[in-house]
Structure 1
């Protein structure tokens, strides 16, 4: 049974950890955030001369009967202050917006790096739609925190004390009213913030689940139509959308309720100030000890009273942005198992390293969803730089073995060691191709690859045999999962990506399937040149491809032997 106190302490510790992470994430934009906060503070301090100028004009016109010409200094002061405050507000908003954009770009870079470094086995346990939401909704949820909450927090610490001192200077009673009612706003703000954070996290979690559900249905749209499940799946999407609607309205209800209560506290405080001034002018109370209260002083206090609460009200409104940012951080931590941190040191290209050896010990493998194992008690050792061909009938576990070597599949027993650790490249039978040009899909392996390197890899993988006939060559746009290319053409694009990656351990799954003899011969010649100084494990049915191998591993059974001069089909 969970101890409630321990659970609460763990929750508080987790919140503090996320707050520190949000603070560290702002490091690239600290100067802009400071500029935004300073602009807000200066604009708030200028409220004092602004209120003084307005009070001066009203006192001069209504009480002293001065002509407009005698009030030109007051009008000049008021105009100058208004212009200056408008410029400061503009500069502050620009700085806060630029800071938020910089920080969100930094977070997206961290998320992208985390996903690129993730093991395939880890990625296969996640839903693509949920991970995509981290880059979009969850990242955008931080905008209000950095562009609104943090600058406003600086304003709250800088502006109300100055306004309070100015009010105390002219009338201590009004200053005391403001001082006693001010703590009610942050107190209620903290109480509501806990509920807002929980509701915001539920809403973001539901949105991520809906996105994952919708993305999964889009991927399986053909099967849904084939089996006539469209109506049922639409109902499932309707339920997911309804969950998002309910939780979004819950967040809005908390926001509107808290804003209403905070406005009530501020309005009551201003009303008390107005009541005191009115009764003083009517000589019904005298808390000043007989000292006269001029109209200008009363106007000055009435103008500053609502402005004293304005930063607190803005902070209360942005406090929901803080709750939303903490909720987004919690969701990111849950989806990624940790909050993404910046990469240590400069991102330098990694050297390929020496060819590794492989040691496989008592390996037992079961494909996901399969009722039984396809590989049992498999063991072999592969020396560095050796080329191994895995052969056997369809369904004997060749692809499953390659997936285990690549880290895509968790063994049920035994293990795989790579000595020394090195860069790995895996060209599967069905490489995932994204919507975009062929060149874009190739650059996934190396974003910094030059056009010449791209063409060289495409030539080696025999991609140019068909790309040269396309309208725009490598810049031709293809659809999701390689729509517009044949199966063999898609495999060659995946193989070209492997060439660009420049791995020390090469895993190939039927690299020459569906190729005509001439294309197969050219591809194998290019592979032979590429594999120099590398370790190879290749699953194949092709007797021609077997000529690349030094050893042959037969499945099932796991018998390993040196390749003979001629290997039967």
Structure 2
């Protein structure tokens, strides 16, 4: 398997794509191609036999009605096979893309804040939506056509060889030109598709970011510069798209030329043989029916190869998409503990420590150690403030406590149990997380509180809002709990948005609350109201709270302050 930044070989990516498809797709494609080849050959032989009977043997046209009826049945059979194959291939494609999207969403759900922080939202949406859709043509057209491109020409070549081996030799000589040309095209097409995909993902991410900051851009008068910048990137995208299209049109024209020359050469040979101008090999024994059958089969010999060449660009697009999607799916996930260990809830004995860090060390890849041999105990009900200069590891320490990061050495224990033994679902039942970037959705106030859960009475919602200092919020909104808050809660002030996130956390109270700079960027009044709400909520529900902040209001709230960095023994100061 390719590692690091090396591109995976095409054969490896093709194997990965094939493994994602339902197991029945390939056998179905081979069976459909075999049936289609049989009907196609029988149809050509039957037509040639009808013409030979009428023109050479002098049979009356009326005697051909049974053969014409059989011919009609063959045409209907071929159409039915083609339609059924397309419908089943579309079904396989839809199921495969749906399963891949589900796996990508699960991968993102399992990723912690550090893993997902470097991914632009627009680029991520482009990969999950557009890049997965680029696999559609691969599964619905390319894979079935690949089976037809192998079986149908081979079957036709065998039948033609039984009629005239020299005509079969002409087909065999010209046939490899198309696959060879496809292989040459494939190299260039895949590299162009990968560059196009990278450009599209980057443009999607940048455009999404500019949309989010549109108000700031307008206030600073930077609109013309941003428009000019977007125009430059759009021009680059247009140029890349035209390069891909130019290659597609050029390759199709060249392949059509080769196929036309081959069929014309075969027609000249058959015509001259029937007229007696060529006496080479079996040409003297060639009959009108045999020659006509060969001419009828020759276009169908090249047709599957030409169609495969057209779908070769679908393969190139799919390989480029597979390289991105597989890289996303192969990102390491948090270790999944056994079912028996992750379902059992940690229980607390009297006077147990709520949270304990035992000689914990941590370093980000390629960086020096950030935390080394750190030991810390937090008792139940404490309100702990962690403070220190920027870059010392405050947020990292909090993410270790939450289980978003795994320590290089040591253990993080909750109620005496290593949190590595719990999956994220189990962890989310005992710890809540809130930071300055907690998200509000473009949904109703009720939905933002419940996150879609049903059956929660309004009285419970009012209770949590009151604990968060927002008791009057439903009455202040025009539609109460059904009022839509707008994107990222734009109908609320910054302080109201933070306290609404707190109310959402309190709706399903967890014993441990972790806060990462919750009052950052708030004005003094909103900051005071937020810390007051946090204090009221934690005291009323008996929560243990650990907060990272450098604000004086946080220091007044805390019952214990821990300063980073720790001493040389890794103990809290």
User: What TM bracket, shorter-length normalisation?
Assistant: 0.7 to 0.9
Q: For residue 412 of structure 2, what is the aligned residue in structure 1?
A: 418
Query: Normalization by structure 1: what TM-score?
Result: 0.79
**Which of 150, 175, 179 lines up with 1:157 in the alignment?**
150
Structure 1 residue 94 corresponds to structure 2 residue 87:
yes
Q: What are the equivalent positions in structure 2 for 1:138-287 lying under 5 Å apart?
A: 138-287=131-280
Q: Provide the rounded CA distance (Å) in 2 between the counterparts of 1:362 and 1:348.
A: 24
Query: Is contact 1:182–1:309 with CA below 8 Å preserved after alignment?
Result: yes
Q: By how many angstroms is 1:425 displaced? A: 3.0
**Which of 44, 66, 76 lines up with 1:73 in the alignment?**
66
**Which of 470, 478, 485 lines up with 1:478 in the alignment?**
485
Q: By how many angstroms is 1:16 displaced? A: 3.7
Q: Provide the rounded CA distance (Å) in 1 between the counterparts of 2:211 and 2:477.
A: 28
Q: For residue 357 of structure 1, what is the aligned residue in structure 2?
A: 356
Q: For residue 372 of structure 1, what is the aligned residue in structure 2?
A: none
Distance 1:537 1:417, change over 3 A: farther
Query: Is contact 2:53–2:59 with CA below 8 Å preserved after alignment?
Result: yes
Query: Is contact 2:135–2:318 with CA below 8 Å preserved after alignment?
Result: yes
Give unpaired runs (5+ residues) of structure 1.
Answer: 1-6, 366-374, 563-569
Partner SS state of residue 23, structure 2: helix
Q: What are the equivalent positions in structure 2 for 1:3-14 lying under 5 Å apart?
A: 14=9
Distance 1:339 1:364, change over 3 A: closer
Q: By how many angstroms is 1:538 displaced? A: 6.5
Q: What are the equivalent positions in structure 2 for 1:155-554 lying under 5 Å apart?
A: 155-289=148-282, 291-332=284-325, 338=331, 353=346, 355-358=354-357, 381-383=376-378, 385=380, 387-390=382-385, 401-402=394-395, 405-406=398-399, 418-419=412-413, 420-421=418-419, 423=427, 424-438=431-445, 440-441=447-448, 449-452=453-456, 456=460, 459-462=463-466, 466-467=473-474, 470=477, 474-499=481-506, 505-508=512-515, 509-510=517-518, 526-528=537-539, 530-531=541-542, 536-537=546-547, 539=549, 546=557, 551-553=559-561
Offset from partner CA, 1:395-450 (integer Å, 9 cap, x none): 97699834651369x99xx9996333263532123422233344554566xx7x44
Q: For residue 112 of structure 1, what is the aligned residue in structure 2?
A: 105
Q: By how many angstroms is 1:535 displaced? A: 5.9
Q: Provide the rounded CA distance (Å) in 2 between the counterparts of 1:502 and 1:258.
A: 63
Query: Is contact 2:29–2:85 with CA below 8 Å preserved after alignment?
Result: yes
Query: Normalization by structure 2: what TM-score?
Result: 0.78
Query: Is contact 2:10–2:319 with CA below 8 Å preserved after alignment?
Result: yes
Partner SS state of residue 418, structure 1: strand
Q: Provide the rounded CA distance (Å) in 2 between the counterparts of 1:161 and 1:58.
A: 25
Q: By how many angstroms is 1:290 displaced? A: 7.1
**Which of 10, 17, 23 lines up with 1:22 in the alignment?**
17
Query: Is contact 1:99–1:146 with CA below 8 Å preserved after alignment?
Result: yes
Give the root-mean-square deviation of aligned CA atoms.
4.4
Q: By how many angstroms is 1:12 displaced? A: 7.7
Q: For residue 371 of structure 1, what is the aligned residue in structure 2?
A: none
Query: Is contact 2:385–2:555 with CA below 8 Å preserved after alignment?
Result: no
Q: By how many angstroms is 1:472 displaced? A: 5.8
Q: Provide the rounded CA distance (Å) in 1 between the counterparts of 2:234 and 2:196.
A: 11
**Number of positions where the alignment pairs a residue of Structure 1 with one of Structure 2:** 530
Q: Provide the rounded CA distance (Å) in 1 between the counterparts of 2:247 and 2:491.
A: 50
Q: By how many angstroms is 1:184 displaced? A: 1.6
Query: Is contact 1:390–1:398 with CA below 8 Å preserved after alignment?
Result: no
Q: For residue 566 of structure 1, what is the aligned residue in structure 2?
A: none
Q: By how many angstroms is 1:484 displaced? A: 1.8
Distance 1:360 1:490, change over 3 A: farther
Q: Provide the rounded CA distance (Å) in 1 between the counterparts of 2:59 and 2:103.
A: 65
Q: Which region of structure 1 is more displaced relative to structure 2, 346-355 or 224-233?
A: 346-355
Q: For residue 351 of structure 2, what is the aligned residue in structure 1?
A: none
Q: By how many angstroms is 1:356 displaced? A: 3.1
Q: Provide the rounded CA distance (Å) in 2 between the counterparts of 1:452 and 1:261.
A: 66
Q: Provide the rounded CA distance (Å) in 2 between the counterparts of 1:95 and 1:212.
A: 35
Q: Provide the rounded CA distance (Å) in 1 between the counterparts of 2:392 and 2:501.
A: 16
Query: Is contact 2:194–2:317 with CA below 8 Å preserved after alignment?
Result: yes
Q: Provide the rounded CA distance (Å) in 1 between the counterparts of 2:283 and 2:20.
A: 57
Q: Provide the rounded CA distance (Å) in 2 between the counterparts of 1:17 and 1:223.
A: 46
Q: By how many angstroms is 1:199 displaced? A: 0.6
Q: By how many angstroms is 1:125 displaced? A: 2.1
Partner SS state of residue 181, structure 2: helix
Q: Provide the rounded CA distance (Å) in 2 between the counterparts of 1:320 and 1:470.
A: 54
Query: Is contact 1:390–1:553 with CA below 8 Å preserved after alignment?
Result: yes
Partner SS state of residue 514, structure 2: strand
Query: Is contact 1:129–1:211 with CA below 8 Å preserved after alignment?
Result: yes
Q: By how many angstroms is 1:60 displaced? A: 3.0
Q: For residue 368 of structure 1, what is the aligned residue in structure 2?
A: none
Partner SS state of residue 452, structure 1: coil
